[in-house]
């Protein structure tokens, strides 16, 4: 069996939503101290909907595929739904990750959570 699913390979080779949002409403960064990989998420939010999301990931194939899939899963969704995104959901949407690569999907969950925290902090009434 191949190490990575076709979906992981496809999102790694052709990642969606790569880049920076200059006037982002929320920015979150997550890193893994063991492997040294870093992921940064930028959110554009209007009327509580994720209008746009972009990422920069300096990391392995699984981290890049996880970032790409996570952005696809939250784009166009309400903030409340994006807050519930788990790394398991990201890995499942990628048709699975090898067990020792699950931590790569955790980076996506954490970076999005932090970006949403940043947004909530900035928009506290």
Task: Kindly state whether residue 3 participates in binding ligand FES, applying the rule CB under 6 A.
Answer: no
Counting contacts by CB under 6 A, is residue 20 touching ligand FES? no
Task: Kindly tell me the burial class for residue 14, based on how many C-beta atoms sit within 10 Å of its own C-beta (0-12, 13-18, 19 or more).
Answer: exposed
Annotated catalytic residue 104: yes
Residues shown for the chain: 125
Cβ neighbourhood burial of 99 (10 Å; 0-12, 13-18, 19+): exposed
Q: Does 32 bind ligand FES (CB under 6 A)?
A: yes
Of these, 3, 13, 20, 35, which contacts ligand FES (CB under 6 A)?
Answer: 35
Q: Which of 18-26, 56-64, 78-86, 114-122 is the region at the interface with ligand FES (rule: CB under 6 A)?
A: 56-64
Catalytic residues: 35, 104
């Amino acid at each position: 069996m191949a190490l990575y699913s076709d979906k992981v390979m496809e999102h790694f080779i052709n990642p969606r939503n790569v880049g920076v949002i200059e006037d982002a409403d929320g920015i979150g960064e997550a890193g893994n101290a063991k492997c040294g990989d870093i992921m940064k998420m930028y959110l554009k939010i209007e009327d509580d909907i994720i209008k746009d999301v972009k990422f920069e990931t300096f990391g392995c194939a699984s981290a890049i595929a996880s970032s790409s899939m996570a952005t696809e899963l939250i784009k166009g969704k309400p903030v409340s739904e994006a807050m519930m995104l788990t790394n398991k959901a990201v890995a499942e949407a990628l048709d699975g990750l090898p067990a020792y690569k699950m931590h790569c999907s955790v980076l996506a969950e954490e970076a999005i959570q932090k970006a949403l925290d940043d947004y909530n902090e900035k928009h506290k009434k």
